[in-house]
A and B are shown apart, each in its own frame.
Chain A
Amino acid sequence: MSDLKLKGITIVETFAEAFPMVGTRIIITAPTAEWADIAARTMTGFATSVIACGAEAGIEGKLSRKETPDGRPGVSVLLFTMDAGKLQTQLRNRAGQCVLTSPGSACFSGLEGEKTLKLGASLRFFGDGWQMSKVLGGKRYWRIPVMDGEFLCEDKVGLTKKAVGGGNLLVLGKSHGGVLAACTRAVKAMAEVPGVITPFPGGIVRSGSKVGSKYKGQIASTNDAYCPTLKAAVKTELPLSVEAVMEIVIDGLTADAISEAMYEGIHAICRGGAREGVTHITAGNYGGNLGPHHFHLKEIVG
């Protein structure tokens, strides 16, 4: 093992182990960029981890008037689950409760795919028989009457089975503030990469988990090997000087998008150098036997 050093920060020679997911992209538009953002944030709320949220979702990026089908400001949202059936349920519930309900919103497909999910095709029933279907260029749209006018919604949205979930970076440091600042910078840099989201709060998770627990029925529990307060009691992965560890989890429509996001993230973290308090960048894996996607930090940085 030969670790790399970048601006005094050790890049541990290891890899992030990630899993196949199914994903989709929808475009939400609204009368203003602010309202598009509100609808998207609402739709992607409580979607940090499939462990208990049902889906992992986030805002991929903002879209200008020129980039949306109806010429209004928009937001691109990515949604991931472990199988297509769950993705359909999550999409229907989230779009139905959070986008349909949001003033002035409209909802379009942001992904072409051989396999599709129902979007307007299921939300149309809210129209109670007053909904109208319109086909433009082979794509069907639904006009559903609502109290502020009409909710315009594309019939179907593509899905990809090539999505990848659980790309990650673990950032170790001797200062909580320094690690948080570096990770915040990394999340911002990753947000510029198309096709990825960082689903946790602000893109950062401070409670990384391991599989299983001493308690019956608890499927995930605290990653004690990375808890600085337990260094003396467990088989720790942390040097004594480490005060805090934060993780950035990345879901992407493709494995390449995750690699690119990890590259941008690592370089953004290292921009602050060791002086900021970050000591190591590493990644979470299960020994390589569970997930088919391995993102080796050394290759990514190189």
Chain B
Amino acid sequence: MSALTFELKHTPDQRLDLSSLVPAKLADLNRKQIEALQIGTTRQKLTVGDAFKLKGKDVNTLHFAGTDARCDKIGAQLSGGEIHVEGDVGAYLGTFMKSGKIAVKGSTGALAAASMAGGHIAISRNVGDQACGVGLGDTMGMKGGFVTIGGNAGGLLGERMRRGLVVVGGKAGDYAGGRMIAGTLLLKRGAGRYAGYGNRRGSLIFTEKPRSILPTYGDCGVMEFDYLRLLEQWLRGQGMSIRLGAKARRLMGDMAVLGKGEMLILA
């Protein structure tokens, strides 16, 4: 059975709320019922059938094609199955997601993976502000799972993050890991200002020496971390080859708060 594909017919004249297009919510619907789902966000009604051309049947694997930055909430609360997106997406990609996989060939708007609890999101290009941060109405950020970002991340990446792993291939914006509770950010091209601001127990791993470090981080020196070896092996198992080695400089902070978090700067 081929994947159920949603091909955007034309640029929508309003933002789309695509949170209803996840496997769990489509499982018991026929084609007509799916096409009748409301996805508009203004007083002007808009259905799936108005905006998308549908193909295929398998609701466990969804494809979105030709999407743009107005397509919000793709994969929100996803609890299994796969979603593949060809094109940019809007805000709230995979927010509150529990399990499954989302792969985006493009960039995302704000709050991608916000309050995500499990599963894997792979974004090939850039993400907006507050990725992996706090979802609407929640008190904590990402709570688990694995996010890979091929390009750059906006500000407040992993804000109030509680658990999980985020790998950024490009540069992260200001306040990366801001008010982080725990979890891990692996930053391959560094971050903007105030990285790890208010960090309690989280880990920020820098493969390159960051340009600025908050004065509230204390240096512990360079030593070996078997955890980095484990992480490198695990990432290889996920198809990601990132040379981490074992040696890193450890800075503990943010001493302005709990101070049990860390920056590991590969040595």
Binding site for B on A (CB under 8 A): 29, 69-72, 104, 106, 130, 132-138, 141, 143, 149-150, 152
Contacts and interface: CB of A to CB of B under 8 A. Distances in A.
Contact of B229 (A71, A132, A133): A71
Contact of A70 (B118, B230, B237): B230
B126 interface: no
Given A149-B223, A150-B225, A132 B230 contact: no
Query: Which label, helix, strand, loop or mixed, suits the secondary structure of the A interface?
Result: strand
27 contacts: A69-B230, A69-B233, A70-B226, A70-B229, A70-B230, A70-B233, A71-B229, A71-B233, A72-B229, A106-B226, A132-B182, A132-B201, A132-B203, A132-B262, A134-B227, A135-B164, A135-B165, A136-B165, A136-B230, A137-B146, A137-B234, A137-B237, A141-B227, A149-B223, A149-B224, A150-B227, A152-B226
B15 interface: no
Q: What are the 4 A-B residue pairs with the smallest beta carbon separation, nearest first?
A: A152-B226, A70-B229, A70-B230, A136-B234
Contacts of B229: 70-72
B249 interface: no
Contacts of A152: 226-227, 230
B137 to A, nearest CB: 24
A141 B233 CA distance: 14
Contacts of B227: 134, 141, 143, 150, 152
Contacts of A134: 184, 203, 227
B114 to A, nearest CB: 18
Interface of B: 118, 144, 146, 163-165, 182, 184, 201, 203, 223-227, 229-234, 237-238, 260, 262
A150 B182 contact: no
Given A69-B233, A71-B233, A132-B260, 4 more contacts: A104-B226, A130-B260, A132-B262, A135-B163
Nearest to A68: B233
Contacts of A29: 226
Nearest to B233: A71
Contacts of A132: 182, 201, 203, 260, 262
Nearest to B202: A132
